[in-house]
C-alpha cells in the first residue's frame, strides 16, 4: 500500500470552509517562516492545540478524535507522534 499524497493546506482550508472537515478543525494555515511558523499546520477550535503537517504539535497536544484521524489520513497528513 503506497502513502497517499499530501493534500495542500489551501485545499484542506477549502474543505474546512465547505464543511467537509471535522467540526473541531478551526483552520489550516500554510505556515510563514517570517512569523515563526515553519510548516503548514491545523488549528483546532478549542484554541489550545495546533498540529504541524510533520506530525508534531505546534502547541498543545491531545488525543485526536476518530473523525480527525480519518480526515488527516484521507489528506495524507501524518498523525501526531
Model confidence, pTM: 0.88
Q: What is the pLDDT of residue 33?
A: 77
C-alpha 16/C-alpha 22 separation (Å) is 8
Q: Categorize the per-residue pLDDT at 3 as very low, low, confident or very high, splitting at 50, 70 and 90.
A: low
How many helices (DSSP H) and strands (DSSP E) are in the chain? 2, 4
Q: What is the pLDDT of residue 32?
A: 81
Residue 28 reports pLDDT greater than 80:
yes
Q: Is 40 exposed, middle or buried (0-12, 13-18, 19+ CB in 10 A)?
A: buried
Q: What is the mean pLDDT of the chain?
A: 92
How close are the terminal C-alpha atoms of the chain, in Å? 21
Residue 7 reports pLDDT greater than 80:
yes
Consecutive H or E run containing 42: strand 41-44
Q: In what order do the strands lie in the sheet with 50-52?
A: 25-29, 41-44, 50-52, 57-59
Amino acid at each position: 500500500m503506497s502513502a497517499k499524497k499530501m493534500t495542500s493546506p489551501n485545499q484542506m482550508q477549502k474543505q474546512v470552509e465547505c464543511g467537509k472537515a471535522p467540526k473541531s478543525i478551526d483552520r489550516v494555515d500554510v505556515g510563514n517562516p517570517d512569523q515563526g511558523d515553519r510548516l503548514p499546520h491545523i488549528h483546532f477550535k478549542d484554541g489550545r492545540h495546533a498540529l504541524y503537517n510533520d506530525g508534531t504539535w505546534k502547541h498543545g497536544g491531545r488525543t485526536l478524535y476518530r473523525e480527525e484521524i480519518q480526515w488527516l489520513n484521507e489528506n495524507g497528513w501524518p498523525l501526531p507522534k
